[in-house]
């Protein structure tokens, strides 16, 4: 892991310094995860925009994205695909919830090998619900307690990913992914009012569908809408587009020409 210092990007340093950071202490920060290919951030403009929006929501100073791109080019150079993660935190501060009067935001950059992407995923509806007004549902904050609890619940049910609903019972999305489904030729996806993040892959797929004259309807729908679906898939920056093979035990087809075009748009 690397940290942005006064003289450039350096190794994160002593663990004690990290433990003082409000990102560790309170989850007071945001992050953005992206694919890297040949030292470049894929869909960089969209990731930049999403990170700036998250920083604004938490009243954090946004980092210099050009500097991040240069760091990625230098530190993750090479032909192999990789995953990058940039984190912006409030930095060190006193204990408790009192605001930091003179914030000193900290910036971290982490790299990981590109993982094996699942061919299909099984979803299970979680008992935990999302609040549509919560910052942690609408932005990638450092607090992932709800998502982790939902994933553990899904795994106990022999599923791969949790499907979350809002407190009012509307379909929201996967525990780490946006959700799409198709019914009678019409593609649908939860609207931004359903406690979702407007993920980069969501934006890419929406744009591709528009170009194909198959515009997706951004809806506020209950679980009954998924019972009528003849196709479903999830998207995020790491996995791209992954077909859903099962929702709460109901099998769905995972082979369709639609997936090929969306996968290409996600690369």
Question: Domain containing 205 — which CATH number?
Answer: 3.20.10.10
* Weakest mean pLDDT among 52-61, 130-139, 162-171, 258-267: 258-267
Question: Which domain-ending residue is among 74, 96, 113?
Answer: 113
Length of the chain (residues)? 267
Q: Which helix (H) or strand (E) holds 68?
A: helix 65-75
- Identify the band that residue 77 occupies on the pLDDT scale cut at 50, 70 and 90: confident
Taking residues 155-168, report their average pLDDT.
98
Residues 65 and 127 in one domain: no
Looking at the chain, the whole-number percentage of residues with pLDDT higher than 90 is 79
Taking residues 234-248, report their average pLDDT.
97
Residues 61 and 126 in one domain: no
Taking residues 201-212, report their average pLDDT.
95
Residues 151 and 228 in one domain: yes
- Identify the band that residue 21 occupies on the pLDDT scale cut at 50, 70 and 90: confident
Task: Output 4 or 106, whichever has higher pLDDT.
Answer: 106
Residues 128 and 257 in one domain: yes
Residues 233 and 207 in one domain: yes
How would you label 217-250 residue by residue, b for 16+ Cβ within 10 Å and e otherwise? ebbebeeebbeebebbbbbbbbbbbbbbbbbeee
pLDDT at 102: 74
Residues 143 and 47 in one domain: no
Residues 130 and 258 in one domain: yes
Partners of 57 in the β-ladder: none
- Identify the band that residue 163 occupies on the pLDDT scale cut at 50, 70 and 90: very high
Query: In the block, which residue shows the tokens 């309170």?
Result: 26
Question: Which domain-ending residue is among 92, 113, 134?
Answer: 113
Residues 174 and 249 in one domain: yes
User: 116: which 2 tokens?
Assistant: 């094996």
For the chain, the average pLDDT equals: 92
CA dihedral 15, 24, 146, 30 (to 10 degrees): -110
- Identify the band that residue 100 occupies on the pLDDT scale cut at 50, 70 and 90: confident
Model confidence, pTM:
0.90
Question: Which domain-ending residue is among 113, 134, 159?
Answer: 113
What gap in Å lies between CA 119 and CA 32, rounded to an integer?
24
Residues 103 and 126 in one domain: no
> Into how many domains does the chain fold?
2
Is the pLDDT at 94 greater than 60? The verdict is yes
- Identify the band that residue 10 occupies on the pLDDT scale cut at 50, 70 and 90: low
Residues 133 and 95 in one domain: no
What gap in Å lies between CA 102 and CA 141, rounded to an integer?
21
Contact 137, 131 (CB under 8 A): yes
* Weakest mean pLDDT among 34-48, 71-85, 158-172: 71-85
Task: Output 184 or 78, whichever has higher pLDDT.
Answer: 184
Question: What CATH number does residue 93 fall under?
Answer: 3.30.470.10
- N-terminal to C-terminal alpha carbon distance within the chain: 25
Residues 167 and 93 in one domain: no
pLDDT at 195: 94
Strands (E), the chain: 2-5, 8-11, 29-37, 40-41, 82-89, 106-113, 121-130, 161-166, 171-174, 178-183, 186-190, 217-219, 231-236, 240-247, 250-251
* Weakest mean pLDDT among 11-25, 71-85, 121-135, 217-231: 11-25
Alpha-carbon Rg for the chain, nearest whole angstrom, is: 19
Is the pLDDT at 104 greater than 90? The verdict is no
What residues make up the domain containing 7? 2-113
What gap in Å lies between CA 69 and CA 43, rounded to an integer?
12
Residues 57 and 153 in one domain: no
Is the pLDDT at 89 greater than 60? The verdict is yes
* Weakest mean pLDDT among 55-59, 100-104, 235-239: 100-104
- Identify the band that residue 52 occupies on the pLDDT scale cut at 50, 70 and 90: very high
- Identify the band that residue 198 occupies on the pLDDT scale cut at 50, 70 and 90: very high
pLDDT at 15: 52
């Amino acid at each position: 892991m690397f940290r942005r210092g006064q003289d450039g990007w350096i190794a994160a340093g002593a663990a004690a310094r990290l433990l003082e950071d409000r990102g560790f202490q309170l989850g007071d920060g945001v992050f953005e995860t992206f694919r890297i290919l040949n030292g470049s951030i894929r869909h960089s403009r969209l990731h930049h925009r999403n990170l700036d929006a998250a920083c604004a929501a938490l009243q954090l100073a946004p980092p210099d994205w050009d500097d991040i791109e240069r760091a990625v080019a230098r530190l993750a150079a090479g032909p192999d695909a990789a995953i990058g993660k940039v984190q912006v935190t409030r930095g060190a501060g006193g204990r408790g919830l009192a605001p930091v009067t003179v914030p000193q935001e900290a910036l971290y950059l982490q790299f990981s090998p590109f993982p094996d992407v699942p061919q299909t995923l099984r979803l299970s509806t979680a008992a935990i619900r999302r609040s549509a007004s919560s910052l942690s549902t609408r932005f990638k904050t450092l607090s992932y307690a709800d998502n982790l609890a939902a994933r553990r619940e899904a795994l106990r049910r022999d599923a791969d990913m949790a499907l979350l609903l809002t407190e009012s019972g509307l379909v929201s999305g996967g525990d780490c992914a946006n959700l799409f489904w198709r019914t009678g030729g019409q593609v649908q996806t939860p609207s931004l009012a359903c406690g979702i993040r407007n993920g980069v892959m969501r934006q890419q797929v929406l744009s591709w569908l528009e170009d194909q004259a198959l515009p997706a309807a951004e809806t506020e729908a209950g679980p009954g809408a998924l019972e009528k679906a003849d196709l479903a898939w999830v998207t995020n920056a790491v996995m791209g587009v992954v077909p859903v093979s099962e929702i709460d035990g109901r099998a769905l087809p995972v082979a369709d020409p639609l997936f090929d075009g969306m996968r290409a748009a996600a690369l």
